[in-house]
Amino acid sequence: MGRRIMIVGNGELPQGIADFIDLSDIVIRFNDCRSLGSGGSRTDVVAVCNTGRPGREMAEETGWRNSDGVRQASAIWSVRDPAKFSEMEPDIRARWPELTDFCADYTAGFAAIAEQTGKSHTVIPRGVHERLDSALQAYSPAPYVCPSTGLFAIAHVLESLNGDDDEVAITGFGHQGWNGHPFAAEKQLVEALTHQGRLTRISSTSIFSASEGA
């Protein structure tokens, strides 16, 4: 039997999911790990938005690195390839002039935190970003800045982390938020991956079914 790799978004979670998440083999959370508590406590990977204001606040303030989720994680993933975002910056500034610091890069700060705290640090390759952009076009998204941190992590797991017998499960993904992400198209892409059997979306019903079969 393979592993269960659980990707926990910061959206609404099904009731009673905490133990189900904590029994997973790998648990991936995001940024400030708001899913802790009702979404369990285990955290193996924290995937971060490593550019712009969110990246600066996490990389430069001690509160983030000392938080429960980050302290117990063994790995930090920076989801945005710095070179890719540097190339994107002129177009972003032209189309969305209010995003003056969107591409400011804090990857080195996250790498330093990882080194200081004995964690691994991975920058998700630009190819993941480019393949996501291509896949999202099938759903005719409105102009967008970049895919969400959650979608980057899902794609990276599917491409690089899971084995043939592993289950990749997601929960806490509401596919809504900042309008610079193509959430409607992302939802359709995730639904397609679910229908293909590459992802499992965990709901209260699936938790109940799993507990019944235990």
Whole-angstrom Cα distance, residue 158 to residue 5?
10
Tell me the per-residue pLDDT of 58-110, one tens digit each, with 9 for 90 and over.
999 899 999 999 999 999 999 999 999 999 999 999 999 999 999 999 999 99
* pLDDT of 205: 59
For residue 100 the two structure tokens come to 């003056």
Model confidence at 22: pLDDT above 90: yes
Tell me the per-residue pLDDT of 117-167, one tens digit each, with 9 for 90 and over.
999 999 999 999 999 999 999 999 999 999 999 999 999 999 998 788 999
What number of helices (H) and strands (E) belong to the chain?
10, 7
Evaluate if pTM is beyond 0.75: yes
The crossing angle, in degrees rounded to 10, of helices 107-117 and 52-60 is 30
CA atoms within 13 A on the CB side of 80: 28
Tell me the per-residue pLDDT of 54-66, one tens digit each, with 9 for 90 and over.
999 999 989 999 9
Whole-angstrom Cα distance, residue 32 to residue 26?
18
- The beta strand positions in the chain, using DSSP E, are 4-8, 26-30, 45-48, 75-78, 120-123, 167-171, 200-201
* pLDDT of 212: 46
* pLDDT of 94: 97
Assess contact for 47 and 67: CB atoms under 8 A: no
Share of the chain above pLDDT 70, in %: 95
Model confidence at 45: pLDDT above 90: yes
pLDDT band at 209, cuts 50/70/90?
low
Assess contact for 135 and 196: CB atoms under 8 A: no
Assess contact for 152 and 129: CB atoms under 8 A: yes
* pLDDT of 210: 52
pLDDT band at 188, cuts 50/70/90?
very high
CA atoms within 13 A on the CB side of 44: 13
